[in-house]
Amino acid sequence: MVLTFIAIALSTSFTKPSASRVYANTVVTLEPKEMVPFDVEEIEIKIVNIDETESFLDAIGHKESGNNYDIVNSYGYMGRYQFGKRTLRGLGYNVTQEEFLSSPEVQEMAMMSLLKHNKKKLQKYIDQYNGDTLHGVYITESGVLAAAHLAGAGNVRKFFKRGNEFKDGYGTSMTSYMTQFGGYRLFLD
């Protein structure tokens, strides 16, 4: 996408103020040296949408299992994203534990299916609250979807409606997932 802006200014000269920018963790400060005339000019700005889905999946996988595809936790949740058998069946994956654990492809497909399913179920809340703070938590699409992965879409709806918190068997809170995994730009369509 390319947008074209026209900058219109007074025909008089002015002194540009100091400007600081951060590039690759280095602060660069620009100091004015002289009066600079400011004329009308056309500026072209390219807006790039960066898909951060892979980074999001890597972060969730790291939190859930250390990105280990063949692990089963003490509650029986399996694989990189720690899926339960009930969730897999609900998504239409009728595989044995061994089949699931030995297939990274099936695990990745199941995760994408779950994210799309939860996005569809929670879209009205994402649309309504994205970018807002609710019950002390900054809301983003990726944070909502991560919370739904941990707690289920129903528990996320309870959070939006009443502020209810959910914790898994290890004490991990749903809102910690909203915060930790918030702010990723996801392209799930």
| 90 and 19 in a common domain | no
**pLDDT value of residue 189:** 76
Q: Are residues 64 and 131 in the same domain?
A: yes
In a domain? residue 188: no
What is the predicted pLDDT for the residue at 4?
Answer: 39
Residue 59 confidence (pLDDT): 97
The verdict on 101 and 159 lying in the same domain is: yes
What is residue 5's predicted lDDT score, i.e. its pLDDT? 40
Residue 40 and residue 17 share a domain: yes
pLDDT at residue number 30 = 53
Q: What is the pLDDT of residue 182?
A: 97
Q: What pLDDT is attached to residue 50?
A: 80
Q: What is the pLDDT of residue 14?
A: 42
Does 164 lie in the same domain as 76? yes
pTM equals 0.74
Residues contacting residue 145 through CB under 8 Å, at least 6 positions apart: 115, 118, 119, 122, 181, 186
Domain closes at, from 25, 46, 67 = 46
Residue 189 domain-assigned (yes or no): no
* Domain extent for 68: 53-180
One domain for residues 114 and 35: no
- On whether both 17 and 87 belong to a single domain, the answer is no
Question: Distances from the Cα of 73 to the Cαs of 76, 83, 98, 173, in angstroms?
Answer: 5, 10, 14, 17
| CATH number of the domain within which 116 lies | 1.10.530.10
CA-angle at 185, arms to 179 and 186, nearest 5°: 105
Per-residue pLDDT of the chain in tens (189 residues, 90 and over written 9): 444 344 433 334 444 445 555 444 555 555 555 665 555 566 666 655 688 999 999 999 999 999 999 999 999 999 999 999 999 999 999 999 999 999 999 999 999 999 999 999 999 999 999 999 999 999 999 999 999 999 999 999 999 999 999 999 999 999 999 999 999 999 987
